[in-house]
Structure 1
Amino acid sequence: MNLPNKLTVLRVIMVPFFVLFMLTDLGGDANKWIALAIFCVASLTDMLDGKIARARNLVTNFGKFMDPLADKLLVCSAMICLIPVGKLPAWIVIIIIAREFIISGFRLIASDNGIVIAASYWGKFKTVSQMFMIILLIADFGGIFVMIENVLIWVSLILTVVSLIDYIAKNKQVLTQGGM
């Protein structure tokens, strides 16, 4: 297993630890900071694995499959954890997760037809905005940051919908060729 794939697997392994510190008192008053540190490190592995894979020509089918899945696990887990603490409305999380299911299904149909759907820039912007949103929501600095958090929530939601429309518009042949 190459380094980018190990980083992807590490990100998946970090998710339950992140959730543990978000939803329990295991670390006491340090819980949110431990969860935040785990989330930040996991997010950095997302950036690093792709850069390393492309730079060293280590792109694999495992990486193409697991990298977006690891991202979805991390980001969706974080957003779900932010619902009970009142930092993120459930309806927004439902829309964002629904988009992830739709795109995953879309990619499966494409894959059955020998088509690989690469991540678009809209999808990458969506992921980055969601990660920054999650970091600020976990840190909960208060003050002016509350306004920034709210802006990032709306930007993330808008980019989620725009990236969904972009994926479908650019790859609508998948739906017509997929036997649907």
Structure 2
Amino acid sequence: MNLPNRLTLFRIVLIPVIILVYLFPYSAFGITPISFYVQHVSISVIDIVALLIYILAAITDAIDGHIARSRNMITT
């Protein structure tokens, strides 16, 4: 398995991680996520963590495409 395929699988694994970050029952465990207010809009730490995971997935997509194109890799 080549590196672009591994990066793609890593991205696929990140999808359930983002879902779990949003759906985890924080209040059942006594956890109250911190919220920030920016111009009357509440932004939770959960939103920021999910955004960072999404950005990581986007970066791996760009790296995956660059490596595959530069080395002429094709998955059959």
Q: CA deviation at 1:33?
A: 1.0
Q: CA deviation at 1:59?
A: 2.0
The alignment status of 1:38 with 2:53, answered yes or no, reads yes
Listed one character per residue, the Cα deviations across residues 103-132 of structure 1 (whole Å, up to 9, x for unaligned) are xxxxxxxxxxxxxxxxxxxxxxxxxxxxxx
* Structure with the higher fraction of residues in strand conformation: 2
- 2:9 corresponds to: 9
Of 46-55 and 17-26, deviating more is 17-26
The alignment status of 1:21 with 2:21, answered yes or no, reads yes
Q: CA deviation at 1:25?
A: 4.9
Question: What RMSD, in angstroms, separates the aligned Cα atoms of the two structures?
Answer: 1.7
Q: CA deviation at 1:9?
A: 0.2
Between the two proteins, the alignment pairs up a number of residues equal to: 61
**Tell me, which stretches of 5 or more residues in structure 1 are unaligned?**
62-180
Q: CA deviation at 1:15?
A: 0.5
Q: Which secondary structure does the structure 2 equivalent of 1:59 belong to?
A: coil
- Which amino acid in structure 2 is aligned with residue 18 of structure 1? I
**Tell me, which stretches of 5 or more residues in structure 2 are unaligned?**
35-44
Aligned residues: percent identity?
Answer: 41
- 2:42 corresponds to: none
Q: Structure 1 25/39 Cα, relative in aligned 2: closer, same or farther at 3 Å?
A: farther
Give the whole-Å Cα distance in 1 for the aligned partners of 2:22 and 2:74: 33
- Which amino acid in structure 2 is aligned with residue 38 of structure 1? I
| Length-normalised TM-score, structure 1 | 0.31
| Length-normalised TM-score, structure 2 | 0.69
Q: Which secondary structure does the structure 2 equivalent of 1:58 belong to?
A: coil
* Structure with the higher fraction of residues in helix conformation: 1
Q: Which secondary structure does the structure 1 equivalent of 2:74 belong to?
A: coil
